[in-house]
A and B are shown apart, each in its own frame.
Chain A
Amino acid sequence: MQRLSSALFLLGLGLLIAAIFRGMEFGTVAPIVGQAINSAAAEQVGAANFVTAVVLGYRGFDTLLELTILFTAATAGGMVLGKRSPTAKRDPDAGFILQAGADLLFPLLVIVGLYIILHGHLTPGGGFQGGVILASAFFVPILARPGTRMSHTAVSTIEGLAGASFIFIGLLAMFGGEAFLTPLMGQGELGALLSAGSLPVLYLAVGLKVGSELAGLLAQLSESEAVD
């Protein structure tokens, strides 16, 4: 009975969506904000990658909140999963090939992650994408040797300081009399590594924060898994 009413509800919803779909006129409205940003971003922000200009410049506030959501999810996740009991059984270490592979991958992943973070204002990529790679760099060795523990103190210190420095850079602009999160240090030469003012610094903070947050979350989940 419940199934039937759910199916009917879905049918109605599908018809409703179909009706909206038919009435929509695709692609008729010009993206006014997007076009304005495309023509102004090179001059106003100085990042060759306009998506980065939006992520850290025009909508930097969203990005700050997004970092906060990750931080909150990690904090709440830590509270939910609780502390690991010291007597719990651990998974055995992986074989030699996986361990050696993990050791080999670690420096490569760190370098690639940092490269992607630091070139976020020039090429596709940036703090989020690079941060995920950094997180995997620290998580792959844990998969190879489940016995090793990630230092939660280090992780929480990095995530705290990286997040605080993002806000601090925003507050610096305020003390200079401008609005919160205004990009600092000029625009530089479009396309150069050292350009777009404070954006690369912000992306580095984002990358470190995302990396430490995700690595911490994954480590918590994997440690908790072993309790059963």
Chain B
Amino acid sequence: MPDTGLLLYGGAFGLILIGIAGIVLSAHLVRIIFAVALLEAGANLLLLLATWHQGAAAPIIVAGRVPDLMADPVPQALVLTAIVIGVGILALALSLALRVQRAYGTLDMHEVRRHMEQDIADEAGIDMPSSSHAPAAVQTARQESGA
């Protein structure tokens, strides 16, 4: 087992871990979106490495010469697909983030969530259950403006 392989596999799992950590730990929406992109990159790298072989040539025939050992073309095609899917979702996520920022004036997910719960409660015509995330000052300000 060559060391390059270990390094690459370690990198793939590392990217996956960093991505998950970013999603779980950060509160800023744009950071979370980039953490998702990192997680996807890790998954793609792992897929590419699934049948990776040290020293395999690209699976392309140039001037009729067939290489002795060619890389597996399937994961390369799969990763191409997965990357394009990721780009589409990333663009949509950023458009949504733009609108959320414009509506609530913040990208902090705790704040966004509180505003959203408030919106849902207002529309439904029920009181909002007091949230443990909301600072007390904001809640009193809301009550005053509502009164």
**Do B51 and A31 touch (CB < 8 A)?**
yes
**Do A10 and B17 touch (CB < 8 A)?**
yes
Q: Mark A10-25, 1 if CB is under 8 A from B, else 0.
A: 1001100100010010
**Do B60 and A51 touch (CB < 8 A)?**
yes
Task: Please tell me if A9 contacts chain B, counting CB pairs below 8 Å.
Answer: yes
Task: Please tell me if A34 contacts chain B, counting CB pairs below 8 Å.
Answer: yes
Task: Please tell me if A93 contacts chain B, counting CB pairs below 8 Å.
Answer: no
Binds A, one of B91-99, B113-121, B135-143: B91-99
Binds B, one of A42-50, A97-105, A147-155, A159-167: A42-50
Chain B residues with Cβ under 8 A from A172's Cβ? none
What number of A residues sit within 8 Å (CB to CB) of B?
A: 57
What number of B residues sit within 8 Å (CB to CB) of A?
A: 46
Chain B residues with Cβ under 8 A from A191's Cβ? 61-64
Chain A residues with Cβ under 8 A from B96's Cβ? 80
Closest to A121 in B: B60
Q: How near does chain A come to B28, taking the closest CB pair, in angstroms?
A: 15
Task: Please tell me if B9 contacts chain A, counting CB pairs below 8 Å.
Answer: yes
Complex CA distance for A53 and B61, rounded to whole angstroms = 12
12 A-B contacts (beta carbon < 8 Å): A10-B25, A21-B13, A26-B5, A34-B75, A48-B60, A49-B60, A51-B80, A54-B76, A73-B92, A81-B98, A191-B62, A221-B94
